[in-house]
Amino acid sequence: FNKIFAAVLTACLVAMMASFISRKIVHPEHPHESALEIEGVERASADAGPTGPEPILAMLETADPAAGEGLTRACAACHTFEQGGANKVGPNLYGIVNAHKAHLDSYSYSSAMASFGGEWTYEELNKFFYKPKDYVAGTKMNYIGLKDPEDRANLIAYLRTLSGSPAPLPDQARIDAEKADLGYDQVAEGGEESAEAATDGDDATAEAQPEEAAGEETDAGEALEEAGEAASEAGNSALEAIKDAARAADEAIQDGVTGAADAVRDATE
C-alpha cells in the first residue's frame, strides 16, 4: 500500500511541477502599453469637455412647439397647462416662461424652490429640465430630466406659446452668453483653432515638393512594414515558446504517469 501511495503522490508532484515550470517559462499577460507606438498619433484626451446641459437658445427659432406639447403628456399627471388650470402634485404651468420662480400663491412649493429666486428664463428652464434635482436640490419634482437638447428646445418652445404675449426669441448676444455660461464657447473656439490648423497644414502640404512627399510616404510605409514584421516575429517567438512549454509539460506528465504505473505494477507483483 505504501508503494502505491508513493507512486500516486509522485505522479501528482510531477504534474504540479510541470504546470509551475510552464507558467514560469510563458507569462500569458496582456501588456499595459501598446507594443507599437506610431509617431504622430496621440492618445485621446480624457477631457471630453462640458458635461452639463447643452445650449438650446440657438435652436428655439426652429424648434417644434407641437413636438414639445407631445412631451408634456408625460407631465399631465402632475401639471396642467391651460390658463387658470388647477394645481396638482405640481403647479399649473401656463405663463411659466419669464415668470418668477415659485410665483403661484395657490401652490405650496418646496422650501428649496421657494428660496431659490430668479425667473424662469429660457436659460434657466433648459438647466432645470436637463436634471431638476441637480438644478434645485430638494425640489419636489420627481423627474429624471430630458437629456436630448432638441427635446428641451421643443418643450420650451411649447411653453413659450402658453401666454397671451409670448416672450421674444433670444438675440445673438444672448445665444453667445448662454454658450459661455455652459462652457460651450471654449468648445467652439477649439473647433475653430483645429480647423485653422488643418487649413494651414493643407496649405503647407500643397507647397511641398512632390519628391519630398513621395519620400516621406515611402519612409512611413517602410517603417510600418518593419513594425509589422517585428510584431509578426515576436508573435511567432511567443507561439514557439508556448508550444515548447506545452510539450515539456506533456512529456513530464507522461513520464510521471508512466513512472507511477510502473511503481503500482511493481508494488502489486
For the chain, which residues make up each domain, given as ranges? 2-29+208-268, 57-169
Backbone φ and ψ of 100, nearest 5°: -65, 145
Overall size of the chain counted in residues = 269
Coil/strand/helix, residue 155: helix
pLDDT < 50 positions in the chain: 32, 41, 44-46, 194-195, 206, 208, 211-214
What CATH number matches the domain at 57-169, 3.10.20.70, 1.10.10.10, 1.10.760.10, 1.10.1740.10?
A: 1.10.760.10
pLDDT for res 44: 47
pLDDT for res 50: 79
Distance, in Å, from the CA atom of 253 to the CA atom of 142, rounded to the nearest integer, reads 66
From 156, 142, 204, select the one nearest 55 (Cα to Cα): 156
pLDDT for res 185: 82
CB neighbours (10 Å) of residue 114?
A: 11
- Residues 6 or more apart from 268 whose CB is under 8 A from it? 4
pLDDT tens, 214-247? 455 556 556 666 666 666 666 666 666 666 666 6
Distance, in Å, from the CA atom of 91 to the CA atom of 89, rounded to the nearest integer, reads 7
pLDDT for res 140: 85
Its pTM stands at: 0.56
Distance, in Å, from the CA atom of 212 to the CA atom of 169, rounded to the nearest integer, reads 55
Cell triple for residue 162?
Answer: 402658453
From 104, 116, 61, 112, select the one nearest 80 (Cα to Cα): 104
Distance, in Å, from the CA atom of 168 to the CA atom of 60, rounded to the nearest integer, reads 10
Please check whether residue 18 is in contact with residue 10, taking contact to mean a CB–CB distance below 8 angstroms: no
Angle at 177 between CA 172 and CA 178, to 5 degrees: 100
Cell triple for residue 268?
Answer: 502489486
- Residues 6 or more apart from 36 whose CB is under 8 A from it? 227, 231
pLDDT for res 227: 62
Distance, in Å, from the CA atom of 258 to the CA atom of 3, rounded to the nearest integer, reads 15
Q: How far apart are the first and last CA of the chain?
A: 12
Please check whether residue 165 is in contact with residue 79, taking contact to mean a CB–CB distance below 8 angstroms: no
